[in-house]
Amino acid sequence: MRQAFDGSHRRRIHLFRHGDVSYVDDKGNRVADSRAVPLTDWGREQAAGMRAFMEGVEIDRIICSGLPRTVETANGIFGDRNLEIEVDADFEEIQSDPDFYKTITGLDDVAYAFANADQPNAARGNGEKFSNFESRVVSGLANLISDSSWKSLALVAHGGVNRALLGWATGAGLKGFSTFEQNTCCVNIIDVDTHPESGDHHRTLIRGVNITAYDPAKKGVHLTALETIAERMSKKDS
């Protein structure tokens, strides 16, 4: 167990976003079930690159949300390690109304769907409230932190999940939701310090945010993930 200067137990969370997927078909139509989408070929390449990037990094527990894109990403990164990939549904992505995309008036509603996440009763596409989602995700993380059996955890989740957890880690809450961009197959590195006797969590350290193996300097990354979805949907009208 690593120790902080004051003797606290210091544990590390590697928080990943799943690799690239496409929520629209070649004609720009939204897929029928966004929960079931697999990784694209590019997404699988991203996971393979992250596997090489993570080589030699100690991991003793792996958790994903259970949605196919996180299962596939977790296997792509850690499939060569002799560790079970666990599922925790607390880390599933925020849910929108399946019919929301039929009623949008413009693609800005897609590209900037997180802009007002901190507003009272704000919801994701007429679906799950951001405040309820944040409570679900942060409670899930609190449960993991209270379990002292692991030292270095990999959590493979989603863009919205990661934004909520980074908001928690910084104290920004939902005010930071639209600020923390999460590129596909990125990793965030967060240390949590707990009391060596009581196990109480009392310190959080952010070591890295939105690190991608394929373009760490973001030289070729300009659109956000949501803007990319909106761009793909724009093909429907072209």
pLDDT for res 16: 98
pLDDT digits (tens, 9 = 90+) for 141-153: 999 999 999 999 9
Q: Answer with the residue of higher pLDDT: 224 or 28.
A: 224
> What digits encode the pLDDT tens for the residues 67-88?
999 999 999 999 999 999 999 9
The domains located in the chain, with CATH, are: 2-237 (3.40.50.1240)
pLDDT per residue over 156-166, tens digit each? 999 999 999 99
Other Cβ atoms within 10 Å of 189 Cβ, number: 15
